[in-house]
Amino acid sequence: MGIKKHILVIPGDGIGPEVTTWGKAVLEKIGQEYGHEFTFDEGVMGHVAIEATGTSLPDDTLAKAKASDAILFGAVGHIKYDNDPSAKVRPEQGLLKIRKELGLYANLRPIMLFDELLNASSLKPEILKGTDILFFRELTGDVYFGEKNRTANFASDLMNYNRYEVERIARKAYEAARARTKRLCSVDKANVLETSRLWREVIQGIAPEYPDVETEHMFIDNAAMQLVKNPKKFDVVVTANLFGDILTDEASQIAGSMGMLASASVGDGTGFFEPIHGSAHDIAGQNKANPLASILSVALMYEIAFGLKEEAGRITSAVDKTLKAGYRTGDIADANIDKAKILGTAAMGQKVLEYL
């Protein structure tokens, strides 16, 4: 029995429209095969929204988001804001606001390593092989949402957490760990930060509820080192917003490229599915972007938003078959790859559709 779902597509900025095109195509193709029915709407967010409406998240897009069953997102950002610290309206504000408005408090980032890309990473293959990490990054608290102050010679960002914010993501992470290898690593900076002391206290309080899960606490600086020294030591990692942002970008090098990593931002309602890469304006419109992270985000949507693991597995398998056949985009091509098999965005997306 097929499902009926309404999907909002927010292409966003830079390479966002190019990669979401292929995420949507895969979503539809596998849906048709299994008798699922999807309707679509589109919204603007980020730089394109600022140019059109003066705000990075227009009310119309937010209303469409709240009315959808899931959201497929591209990327936000533009270099003009990176070089202008005084800009009051910024593309990233829309991303933070939609997370807050939809209650998307847990960001899931699987670090999935395809064996075919062992040589695409800057790390040694023998260190990488067998790595399989699932990050839980808290998404609606921390320094990103705290009070901010700025004068000519002073700036401050308040880092804050409420107990309930830590409790709810901790339980999601423990449930995931229970379904995997029963290992959870909580990353903080409890030797320095009060927010981290609360974080660790909450984790320690919840751990006895999951006696079958081994709990480890690690400081962020050590975790950053261990992630490149011995990534196989991690299974489920749960951490705060700022630390999670940094660690998951670092972990992208395990997978060979940020263009390979999908993510899901979830709460208790509509889920938000996106590649973790940015808008990459330097290659936008040049048919160079890697669409695989967007396609893998659709696999996450099938599994997490709709509970359809078979369809999700089919998508991941199609990506694997594409890589096994030797096809690469520029960001994941090593020196041994046949140059004839280094594809642009559209050709790579089409290959995945063929292998579906």
- Residues catalogued as catalytic: 144, 189, 221, 245, 249
Are the CB atoms for 247 and 239 separated by under 8 Å?
yes
**Residue of 126, 210, 198, 189 whose CA lies nearest to 165:** 198
β-bridge partners, 138 = 106
**What is the C-alpha to C-alpha distance for residues 85 and 209, in angstroms, rounded to an integer?**
45
The residue assigned the tokens 């010679």 is 153
**Residue of 73, 23, 70, 19 whose CA lies nearest to 43:** 73
The residue assigned the tokens 């408005």 is 101
Neighbours of 151 (CB within 10 A): 7
Q: Which amino acid is present at 93?
A: Q
CA end-to-end span of the chain: 20
Tokens in use for 143? Answer: 């320094």
Are the CB atoms for 93 and 72 separated by under 8 Å?
no
Are the CB atoms for 47 and 76 separated by under 8 Å?
yes
- Render 238-302 in DSSP notation, one character per residue: EE-HHHHHHHHHHHTTTTT-GGG-EEEEESSS-EEEEESS---TTTTTTT----HHHHHHHHHII
